[in-house]
Amino acid sequence: MAIVTISHEMGSGGSKIGMALAERLECRYVDQDMIAQAAQRYGCLAERLTQLDETKPSLLERFDAETRHYIMVLQSAVLDVAEADNVVIMGRAGQVLLRGIAHALRVFVRAPLELRVRRVMEDLASRAGETVDFRTTADTVRRCDQQKVGRMRYLFDVDWRDPALYDLVLNTEKLTVPAAVELILSVLRRSELAATEASRQAVRDRALAARVRCALAAHAETRQYRINVEVDQGVVRLESAAALEAAARVARSVPGVTDVQEQPLEVPPIPPFVA
């Protein structure tokens, strides 16, 4: 069984590679459909989830409890499908959320800008019969890249294009879709990518931690506080300077939680003003 995340630049062919890979692996392919499923599962607005999935929040939205809740839902949705295993996940910060998981292969698909622009132009012409000029398309491609850069910087303080975030980087300037799929399959066959009970448990723990964070972000008594959540084999550890008792009650209500440990954080006193 395998978990593959594919992040890709617009026009690089990443989606085609992801779909072809999922077909070869006979596994689930997860892209936009995840948004609708997450909205239904967590009782959220699909339109709002889609907006936050594609762009970073505005300055005012960053201080909004609902925005924080929706971001937690998006992250939990990725880990939910990863927990089910045997899946190809397109984008959605999977390369960060599944960092350190032994049987998760994180792939980045890229290509030179000019080639990507021409591919997007060809795709628009073939699918919708639209004719667009090179400059307009190039602006669209660059804007898409920058939106991804800004969103990942805001959420995780990482550069989305940093090769260190990935296990495999593919340049499709010369690689065809079948060739890229074969390369990914060859890596997946490596013993280093074999799933173990420990790596599966690590995914289960991350998914459970994400569900607890969602519950805390949605609850009236805890949503305004920053509460750190860690999970080890179903045991939840909560760290916060406030609302720990309420947080523990909320955490215990999440299916899969076997126990809750509370760790109060000391708030350093504000030193007196000295003229």
Dihedral angle at the C-alpha atoms of 217, 220, 225, 228, nearest 10 degrees? -40
Task: Please report the pLDDT score of residue 70 as a whole number.
Answer: 85
Quick: pLDDT tens for 203-250: 999 999 999 999 999 999 999 888 999 999 999 999 998 899 999 999
Task: Please report the pLDDT score of residue 275 as a whole number.
Answer: 45
Task: Please report the pLDDT score of residue 268 as a whole number.
Answer: 63
Mean pLDDT over each residue of the chain, to the nearest integer: 90
Task: Please report the pLDDT score of residue 59 as a whole number.
Answer: 61
Q: Which residues of the chain have pLDDT under 70?
A: 59-63, 267-275
The alpha helices in 9-133, defined as continuous H runs, are 14-25, 33-42, 46-54, 65-84, 94-97, 113-128
Domain ranges in the chain are 3-193, 219-264
Task: Please report the pLDDT score of residue 212 as a whole number.
Answer: 97
The one-character DSSP state at 90 is E
Architecture (CATH level 2) of domain 3-193:
3-Layer(aba) Sandwich (3.40)
Segment holding 5, helix H or strand E: strand 3-8
Q: Residue 71 — φ and ψ, nearest 5°?
A: -65, -40
Q: Tell me which residue has tokens 């989305």.
A: 160
